[in-house]
Amino acid sequence: MLSACKPRERGTGSASASAEPSVARPPSRSASALLVAGVKLQQAGKNAEAEEQLLAAIDTGALSSTELAQAWTIVGITREERDDFARAIEAHDESIAAKSDYEVAWVNKGIALRRSDKPDEAQRAYEKALEINPRYAEAWASIGALQLLHSKDAKKAVESLEKAIALDPKVAVAHANLALAYAELGRFADADVALQRAVEKGYKNEAKMREMIEAARAAQKK
């Protein structure tokens, strides 16, 4: 997923600040310029460089609470992209500390928890996001993924993923996971349509998902 904009260190008074590895800081720039640069680098897949810029923006102490939450969330994304899930969760916690009603941070914390094999904690994070914003499609998509991959409840996953898509048809991973959920229920024609829609909306792992759908098809023929 974002999937959504995802994300204890410097500039927040966190006890974990001293544990953050020392990194070279870029030349002095405004907090907003550093934040924008960090976002662009993360979008380009340059996660280490993005984290450096974002931490520098945080260090200025000039970000608003909303900007601080966004910065920490994206720091979390950069760490998750490098499979550093423990520190990703720490970053998301900093985001939540800056703005407790930031549903994006709760969902991305849940994603990092799920990928850390902590599905119950992930579920609670997703539910918190939905308390804040019941119409947040990314939260429904994440719950659907959890139901599909951990609870092995394809029927419930379909309900959650279809709700996510109804709220925001642009969430590509929701279409992809819906394809797999349909396959698990033997709805292979629907699975093909859902996967095609996922690809049209930018889903990048078509080959892997097709393998999973074919594995579901083979399992049901036994």
Q: What is the mean pLDDT of residues 192-203?
A: 98
Q: What is the mean pLDDT of residues 193-211?
A: 97
Residue of 146, 210, 136 whose CA lies nearest to 176: 210
Domain over 143-222 is classified CATH 1.25.40.10: yes
Residue of 28, 173, 191, 29 whose CA lies nearest to 107: 173
Residue of 45, 44, 37, 35 whose CA lies nearest to 73: 35
pLDDT of residue 93 exceeding 60, the answer is: yes
Residues of the chain with CATH 1.25.40.10: 1-13+26-134, 143-222
pLDDT of residue 2 exceeding 50, the answer is: no
The CATH code belonging to domain 1-13+26-134 is 1.25.40.10
pLDDT for the residue 26:
45
